[in-house]
Structure 1
Amino acid sequence: MTTKSKTRSWWGWGNVEDAVAGPERAALVGRVAALLPGQDLTDHEPPDPAALDLPPARVRPPTSLAGLCSDDPADRAAHARGKAFRDVVRNLHGDLRHVPDLVVRPASEQDVVDVLDWCGRAGVAVVPYGGGSSVVGGVEPRVTGFAGAVTLDLGRLDRVVEVDATSRAARVRAGVLGPHLEEQLRPSGLTLRHFPQSFEFSTLGGWLATRASGHYATLTTHIDDLVESLRVVSPAGTGESRRLPGSGAGPSPDRLFLGSEGTLGVITEAWMRLRPRPRHRAGASVRFADYPAAVAATGAIAQSGLHPANCRLLDAAEAFLNTGVGVTGGVLVLAFESADHPVDAALARAVELCRDHGGEVADETAGRDGRASGIADEWRSSFLRMPYQRDALARIGMVVETFETACTWDRFEALHAAVTEAAQDAIRRVCGAGVITCRFTHVYPDGPAPYFGVYAAGRWGSTVAQWDEIKAAVSEAIAAHGGTITHHHAVGRDHRPWYDRQRPDPFAAALTAVKATLDPAGILNPGVLLPERPPPAP
């Protein structure tokens, strides 16, 4: 018996079949109506991409590459945007001013080489594309001065080529989606154990190119820590770093391409560090009456050396909206796991640290088969549905989006206050009413990664402009208080103004020189990380 495959949404998150509908939608809209009496909650259906009258493709591929290329309107529309709130809303309005002329699907690394060679000669921009889950404009062909733009979809490069069980590593092609990667690793008993929220709809190459963060809230939080070596194709040639557990031989070649967002080369393969699948688990949810005390407890755990797999602090608003739990301070969701030994003692010590700061255990699981329950289970279910619910709210004219940062513990109180104030002021000014929430997605010994949510009343036809004003206000507050403009959402085109101010000038000059060397014609993802540089005249 075969399972019917699902249909990816061209305009919004995930699968069409998994969209918010029926009782779930009625309950969601009902909650909004209760919170915002009088708000216009008219639902707006997404347009048919075939009816959008997209401009014809401006470029034609050489005959040798024609079989890899698609100019189908629905295909082009589906590759024109990422999955941010502003992407979804523009799609709902049929606003596709920037679309790829062609979608190119290489079947081999040599195809990637040939595509870059053609585009370099023809002055065609190339936007590398994994799963398309970017939320910062990273896959949008928003370029000028080029003969055209193509999206290089690596989805056909989706295999685990080999597994080195002795060293616990695997050579993996970059276009593999998260679930397919884990499915191929399962027979070996090993796992990459990297589960971002976009896991189902994002690829290894995308994780590497954006320095994605995943499952673990401590220790190996970013994909960087799981990389053993990379293989990258650039217009200047193909390079592969040596497989090593560590090296002090100069600046790391891998670090040059991790986070480069397709501007320096196309990652085609990587050797990734694996681990045995966990067998021992334990978890708990801890309530706090005071938010500063909850923050202090989380910091104490982050600095304890216990290294929980999950250590997510939800403020009162986040806890209520996404778990239904009413608290005055917040809820800390904790989880430990191991393939080697029981973790009950580690959980007990973490809970003890929480109690030292006034925390009270709300629910707890322990033992070899301990799984999330209670608040943790409610949070996980809500977490997985958040993007679908965001789309449903966008359709009725709400402004619903997130932004994240990271800072040191000594700066968190001031940053949190400034960002909250900036968000609330902007929401009042442009929306009239709304809520801002905060949770920690990851914690380090020297600081947290706060992740904020905005839920605000919108005006259909103006919600992108409303969000852009809120986003600018909070980004300025983050920059002014020592935070990073992005912890794990990458830079793309949307974060460029603040990224340009965050990075040191000598580094920007060095990155510009590297770009000119590896991509002389400036065709790779123009405008991301660096200013767009139109190709030289033929």
Structure 2
Amino acid sequence: MAVAAVTGTAGRRTWWGWGLADHQLDDAAVAGLGTVLAERFGTAPGRPAAPAETSSVPLAAPRVALPDTLAHLASSAPEDRLRHGHGNAYRDVVRALHGDVPHVPDLVVRPRDADDVERVLDWCAQARVACVPFGGGTSVVGGVTPPAGPTVSLDLERLDRVLEVDEVSGAAHVQAGMLGPAVEDGLRPAGWTLRFFPQSFEFSTLGGWIATRAGGHFATGPTHIDDLVESISAVTPSGRWTSRRLPASGAGPSPDRLLLGSEGTLGVITDAWVRIQRRPRSRAQATLAFPTEAQALDGVRALLQDGMRPSNCRLLDPVEAALNGAGPADGGDTLLVLAFEAPAAPLDGEVARAIELLRDHGAEVRDGPTLR
């Protein structure tokens, strides 16, 4: 089944880090977070600093130029280059907040398809210019940070379509530049979901998930993106590469493992076949609190070893709970966010059994259970 393009643009992002420019914390929220951090570290609240303006960050002129046949794909706009000059690791965000972005790409190139990707890589190889694949720019390991030499950032945002949904096999053919919400929007009309939610979901792409071997929430079953990949297509400096599409194989090492977790070092992922599932219509959820982290760990271990498979089973220690506004700044309970999902089956009995088991390990129901 062919599917129309769904771009799913996330809106105007901040240039320096996470979030949207028009969805920032207000002054009261910033002050409250400052108080939480000050109490946690035993210091006086600091004074928030405004992010640097892009116009205040000095940039050198581009050192390279694409040939006329590719120039229409490129941008040398200062803000465009600056946005592609760093990832979203803590150190990246802190540096960018202060306008410290030491290396930016000379050009930002936005290919329209795999043919464009191949032509750009051919030129880069001939011109000895580094090419850094760029999906959502959310890397926290320096994966999109340009080197010091001549560099182009290959932004895949135009590769933004669900190409096909195979309803018989429960799989979808998706281009690598689709952001997480766009993938879900593209599958939703037919009643399907990828059901893969890394913390960067709103701002990261399918290609980035594959290149980094990302893990997600709702992960007590399939945990990493490689659990969902059937086939990968990529363009390398030596030509195009596509793995054979299979639901599973026992024939030795999986070719997909060459690119899963490769961080863009071996080629540019352009599209992939991924396993999808019917959207859940039944859901049961609850939040539980444990007096100690050890009790929480014992409870979750018992839950999983008892054969239960919640769709979401996330522990928040007291620090993370406080930072998310779910606990006091000076420490509190360890929280468990628990959920079960199914295409249609009722789940009240399953969540009740889970709560009963967790109570044996000191858990107290803080919220729920709620059923829908």
Question: Normalization by structure 2: what TM-score?
Answer: 0.92
Alpha-carbon shift at residue 107 of structure 1 (Å): 0.6
Alpha-carbon shift at residue 225 of structure 1 (Å): 0.8
Pair 223,89 (structure 1): closer, same or farther in 2 beyond 3 Å: same
SS in 1 for 2:25: coil
Distance 2:218 2:66 in 1: 43
Pair 30,196 (structure 1): closer, same or farther in 2 beyond 3 Å: same
Match of 2:242 among 221, 240, 243: 240
Distance 1:128 1:276 in 2: 32
Instruction: Look up the match of 2:110.
Output: 105
Instruction: Look up the match of 2:350.
Output: 346
Instruction: Look up the match of 2:83.
Output: 78
Instruction: Look up the match of 2:145.
Output: 140
Structure 1 segment 90-169 matched on structure 2, within 5 A: 90-143=95-148, 146=149, 148-169=150-171
Q: CA RMSD in A?
A: 2.1
Contact map agreement 1:291 1:328 (CA 8 A) in 2:
no
Alpha-carbon shift at residue 166 of structure 1 (Å): 1.3
Match of 1:54 among 46, 50, 59: 59
Pair 37,273 (structure 1): closer, same or farther in 2 beyond 3 Å: closer
Distance 2:263 2:71 in 1: 26
Match of 2:16 among 8, 11, 14: 11
Alpha-carbon shift at residue 31 of structure 1 (Å): 4.1
Instruction: Look up the match of 1:65.
Output: 70
* 1:176 and 2:178 are equivalent in the alignment: yes
What amino acid is aligned across from residue 44 of structure 1 in structure 2? A
Pair 329,243 (structure 1): closer, same or farther in 2 beyond 3 Å: same
Instruction: Look up the match of 1:284.
Output: 286
SS in 2 for 1:63: coil
Percent sequence identity is: 54
Alpha-carbon shift at residue 351 of structure 1 (Å): 1.5
Alpha-carbon shift at residue 62 of structure 1 (Å): 1.0
SS in 2 for 1:325: coil
SS in 1 for 2:202: helix
Alpha-carbon shift at residue 88 of structure 1 (Å): 1.3
* 1:39 and 2:44 are equivalent in the alignment: yes
Pair 91,317 (structure 1): closer, same or farther in 2 beyond 3 Å: closer
Match of 1:194 among 193, 196, 199: 196
Match of 1:273 among 275, 279, 289: 275
Structure 1 segments of 4+ aligned residues over 3 angstroms from their partners? 3-6, 29-40, 323-329
Deviations 1:198-234 (A, max 9, x none): 1111110001100111231301111111111111111
Distance 1:78 1:329 in 2: 39
Pair 342,17 (structure 1): closer, same or farther in 2 beyond 3 Å: same
Deviations 1:255-294 (A, max 9, x none): 1111111001111010111101111111122222232222
Contact map agreement 1:101 1:150 (CA 8 A) in 2:
yes
Distance 2:32 2:58 in 1: 36
Distance 2:255 2:184 in 1: 27
Distance 1:188 1:38 in 2: 53
Contact map agreement 1:6 1:15 (CA 8 A) in 2:
yes
Alpha-carbon shift at residue 45 of structure 1 (Å): 2.1
Distance 2:250 2:326 in 1: 50
What amino acid is aligned across from residue 245 of structure 1 in structure 2? P
Instruction: Look up the match of 2:364.
Output: 360
SS in 2 for 1:64: coil
Contact map agreement 1:294 1:329 (CA 8 A) in 2:
no
Contact map agreement 1:100 1:141 (CA 8 A) in 2:
yes
Alpha-carbon shift at residue 5 of structure 1 (Å): 7.7
Distance 1:85 1:317 in 2: 17
Contact map agreement 1:13 1:83 (CA 8 A) in 2:
yes
Pair 238,330 (structure 1): closer, same or farther in 2 beyond 3 Å: same
Instruction: Look up the match of 2:231.
Output: 229
What amino acid is aligned across from residue 348 of structure 1 in structure 2? A
Distance 2:229 2:156 in 1: 19
SS in 2 for 1:230: strand
* 1:322 and 2:324 are equivalent in the alignment: yes
Alpha-carbon shift at residue 80 of structure 1 (Å): 0.3
Alpha-carbon shift at residue 343 of structure 1 (Å): 2.0
| Structure (1 or 2) with the greater helix fraction | 1
Which sits farther off after the overlay, 98-107 or 244-253?
244-253
* Structure 2 portions without partners, runs of 5+: 1-7
* Structure 1 portions without partners, runs of 5+: 370-538
Alpha-carbon shift at residue 178 of structure 1 (Å): 1.0
Alpha-carbon shift at residue 33 of structure 1 (Å): 5.5
Pair 78,298 (structure 1): closer, same or farther in 2 beyond 3 Å: same
Pair 224,86 (structure 1): closer, same or farther in 2 beyond 3 Å: same
Distance 2:322 2:53 in 1: 37
Distance 1:138 1:252 in 2: 24
SS in 2 for 1:317: helix
Instruction: Look up the match of 1:336.
Output: 340
Deviations 1:370-408 (A, max 9, x none): xxxxxxxxxxxxxxxxxxxxxxxxxxxxxxxxxxxxxxx
What amino acid is aligned across from residue 61 of structure 1 in structure 2? L
Instruction: Look up the match of 2:206.
Output: 204
SS in 1 for 2:69: helix
Contact map agreement 2:196 2:217 (CA 8 A) in 1:
yes
What amino acid is aligned across from residue 168 of structure 1 in structure 2? G
Contact map agreement 2:233 2:269 (CA 8 A) in 1:
yes
What amino acid is aligned across from residue 246 of structure 1 in structure 2? A
What amino acid is aligned across from residue 291 of structure 2 in structure 1? A
SS in 2 for 1:206: helix
Give the paired residue count: 363
* 1:253 and 2:255 are equivalent in the alignment: yes
Deviations 1:68-104 (A, max 9, x none): 1111110000000011121111112222211101111
Match of 1:23 among 28, 32, 49: 28
Instruction: Look up the match of 2:3.
Output: none
Instruction: Look up the match of 1:513.
Output: none
